[in-house]
Amino acid sequence: MAKVLMKGNEAIAESAIRHGCLHYFGYPITPQTEIAEYMAKRMPKVGGVCLQAESEVAAINMVLGAASAGARAMTSSSSPGISLKCEGISYLIGSDLPCLIVNIQRGSPGLGSIQPSQQDYYQATKALGHGDSQVPVLAPSSVQELADLTGVAFDIGDKYRTPVMLLADGALGQMMEPVELAPEGQTVLPEKPWAANGHENKRKRNIINSLYIQPDVLEKIVLERYKRYEQIEENEIRCENYMTEDADVILVSYGITSRICKTAVGMARQKGIKAGLFRPITLWPYPKKQLMALADQAKKFLVVELNMGQMVDDVKVSIESKKPVHFFGRTGGMMPSPGDVLRAIESEGGVR
């Protein structure tokens, strides 16, 4: 199909529908409300359900219900709303239920601000729910990627029976760019023989549950789940290298911030600084090997995020602290300009 002009939030919603998601449960919060608004307009036209729940907690549990019955289901929110959903997310993980959770991050902590932020990196990649668990996290950096990775997220979720998070920010959610969407009505959804959707006396009943009284049974289930996490680490890692071939100073950045960094890399190159950008697209699993491959050649790494340096440890672990890792970031909803990043390259990691 031809290109159209969409907001990031709209592109997520339309792409979800085109990838067979007919069940959306949400609650409004800036800067992601357009997802719910778009769903409210479109779902009735495609025979789907868009339900504004009474709270974020209700919405995530509706996702649990729909996913239990085998439906492609999703919810979306922004930082404070995601915190409210965390209990439900752990229940989804514990029940091995696929679904999409979108976080259009805003300034935090607390009620924070409504401007773009990447302050939920730790929450998303380390502990989105209580207990031994991981959730695949995808970090798009353009409206096109928001649309594409929405489809990828649903597929990963179904394949490995896990919730998946699409982690973006207020700027990506609000900005408009040309986008080419997947064709309508062509997604073939996978069979879900485990779904609790009525056995009609033709098969054994399916039970969706996350409560296990016997610890040895629970341990087995967790271990089996971690085998699937290993497969995800093996098969689903995504990242982008931008001008890293000969780079001395390598910026590591994701999402909207990577766009600023790309511009800054160009500005640095004009000044004779050999800069490059490594962009993780999956934040969990983290592209450790791909980053390690740059560790010998690079003289320094510079992590750039809209937070206080939450990704720095992942970079250090990936490169086994072979090279110095510097950090530059803004927080609270503030955005650095490409010039700010250039100045950070020059003062922290600038290698001529």
Partner 1 sequence: MNTKPFNWQPSKRLLIITGHFGSGKTNIAVNLAKIFAASGRKTTLIDFDTVNPYFRAADNIKSLERSGVKAIVPEYANTNLDLPTLPPEIYSVFKDEDPGSLAIFDVGGDDLGATPLGMFNPQITGSGYEMLYVVSMYRPLTASAEDAARLLCDIEAASRLRVTAIVNNSNIGEATGRDSLIQSSEYIKQLCEITGLPLAFSATMLESGDFDGIEPLLQMADETKYLWKESAEADV
Question: Where does this chain bind partner 1 (CB under 8 A)?
Answer: 3-7, 10, 14, 30-31, 34, 38, 41-42, 107, 113-115, 170-171, 174-178, 256, 259-260, 262-263, 266-267, 333, 335, 337-339
For partner 1, the closer of residues 99 and 179 by Cβ is 179
For partner 1, the closer of residues 174 and 187 by Cβ is 174
Angle, in degrees to the nearest 10, between helices 8-18 and 33-42: 40
The CB-of-257 to partner 1 minimum distance in angstroms stands at 8
Dist. CA 145–CA 149, nearest whole Å? 6
For partner 1, the closer of residues 61 and 115 by Cβ is 115
The CB-of-176 to partner 1 minimum distance in angstroms stands at 5
The CB-of-173 to partner 1 minimum distance in angstroms stands at 8
For partner 1, the closer of residues 4 and 223 by Cβ is 4
Q: Cα 110 vs. chain centroid, distance in angstroms?
A: 21
**Cα dist from 148 to 54, 162, 181, 192, 261, whole Å:** 30, 19, 8, 23, 22
The CB-of-3 to partner 1 minimum distance in angstroms stands at 5
**For strand 4-7 and strand 176-179, is the pairing parallel, antiparallel, or unpaired?**
antiparallel
26 φ/ψ angles, rounded to the nearest 5 degrees: -150, 180
For partner 1, the closer of residues 153 and 261 by Cβ is 261
301, exposed or middle or buried, with CB in 10 Å at 0-12, 13-18, 19+?
Answer: buried
Longest CA–CA separation in the chain, Å: 73
For partner 1, the closer of residues 163 and 255 by Cβ is 255
Dist. CA 288–CA 298, nearest whole Å? 15
**Cα dist from 214 to 207, 221, 315, whole Å:** 17, 11, 38
- Alpha helices (H) along the chain: 8-18, 33-42, 56-68, 79-94, 121-126, 143-160, 170-174, 215-235, 255-270, 288-292, 312-318, 338-344
For partner 1, the closer of residues 65 and 266 by Cβ is 266
The CB-of-234 to partner 1 minimum distance in angstroms stands at 33
Dist. CA 338–CA 343, nearest whole Å? 9
The two tokens of residue 197 are 């959707």
Q: Are 14 and 182 in contact (CB under 8 A)?
A: no
Dist. CA 290–CA 54, nearest whole Å? 43
The CB-of-336 to partner 1 minimum distance in angstroms stands at 9
The CB-of-82 to partner 1 minimum distance in angstroms stands at 17
For partner 1, the closer of residues 93 and 281 by Cβ is 281
The CB-of-5 to partner 1 minimum distance in angstroms stands at 5
